[in-house]
Amino acid sequence: MNVIKQTSKMMPIPVVMLERGMGIESDGLIISYHENYASLTQLHELLGKQGFLDVDRMRSFLVSLQDVVRFVQLTFSLIADYVSRMEERGVRP
């Protein structure tokens, strides 16, 4: 995963989160912001060239940030509030 950090120093990469995990027939998660579908395609191509991901197995779930119906938006303050509440309960998130 250091490849992403190295590449991001040379060019902007819209990756907010890239983690290993498990579930729903997957073993990892990438959260990224894109202004259009072409930008998402460019990221897939970049990751495919690095050789550590099988881009043919990648699946996408697209969310429009311009949709009029919004539920809970991901913000850093939302995450910070959650962490703070957990720490108050003595739980390490």
First to last CA, the chain: 23
Residues pairing with 29 in the sheet: 19
Phi and psi at 15, nearest 5°, equal -80, 125
Pairwise CA distance, residues 3 & 48, whole Å: 12
Sign of CA dihedral 70, 61, 48, 40: negative
Residue 86 has a pLDDT of 92
pTM for the full predicted model: 0.65
Q: Which tens digit of pLDDT belongs to each residue from 31-87?
A: 888 888 888 888 888 888 777 677 788 888 888 888 899 888 888 898 899 999 999
Q: Residue 13: is its pLDDT beyond 60?
A: yes
Beta strands in the chain (DSSP E): 15-23, 26-32
